[in-house]
Amino acid sequence: MIQHFIDDFFDFATLQLPQLISTEWMEESKYYEDYALLVFNPSKSYTLENTMDMLEDQMVLIPLYHMIPSNATTFGHCYCAFSNPSFGHMYKFNVMTDGNGLINQVAVTVYESMEFMAGDLCNDLELHSKTGYFKYRRPKYDILKYFI
């Protein structure tokens, strides 16, 4: 069943976001009970701001958080955005800057159920709240409203 959601993701994402999503740059997929993890290593690196703009403008994703571990370095700045499940898409994108402040890997989680996706988004937010600080953080109640 999860393969159906992965196929839908590729049908949409490769057209909307060819700079970041291509099977040519994809590592081996990891399949779990309720989701699959797809990791892409694009041929070109992008700044975090450019990546955020691409995800929000081209994929119409909803920002979950932008976390900064330390102002002393450009390494490790994390950004996460997710699709609106009411539009029939259930996935999230996670990116993190390297030592040069660039994004060179994109992790996509494709979900099979809305319930698992809602819980995973809240868990992801909680896990990232333990270090650094949030430049942006979507409140939990605002996340859950997409799943009612």
pTM equals 0.95
Q: What's the pLDDT tens digit per position in 86-117? A: 999 999 999 999 999 999 999 999 999 999 99
Query: Cα angle vertex 51, ends 47, 53, to 5°?
Result: 120
Q: What's the pLDDT tens digit per position in 116-132? A: 999 999 999 999 999 89
**Region for 130 from its dihedrals, namely left if φ exceeds 0, alpha if ψ lies in -120 to 50, beta otherwise:** alpha
Three-state secondary structure along the chain? CHHHHHHHHHHHHHHHCCCCCCHHHECCCEECCCEEEEEECCCCCEEHHHHHHHHHHHCCCEEEEEEECCCCCCCCCEEEEECCHHHCCCEEEEEEECCCCEEEEEEEEEECCHHHHHHHHHHHHHHHCCCCEEEEECCHHHHHHHHC
pLDDT for res 53: 97
Is residue 1 very low, low, confident or very high in pLDDT (cuts 50, 70, 90)?
Answer: confident
d(CA 136, CA 49): 13
Q: What's the pLDDT tens digit per position in 11-59? A: 999 999 999 999 999 999 999 999 999 999 999 999 999 999 999 999 9
pLDDT for res 15: 96
Q: Which domain holds residue 22?
A: 2-147
d(CA 52, CA 109): 17
Length of the chain counted residue by residue: 148
Q: How many domains does the chain have?
A: 1
pLDDT for res 73: 87
Q: Average pLDDT for residues 3-10, to the nearest whole number?
A: 96
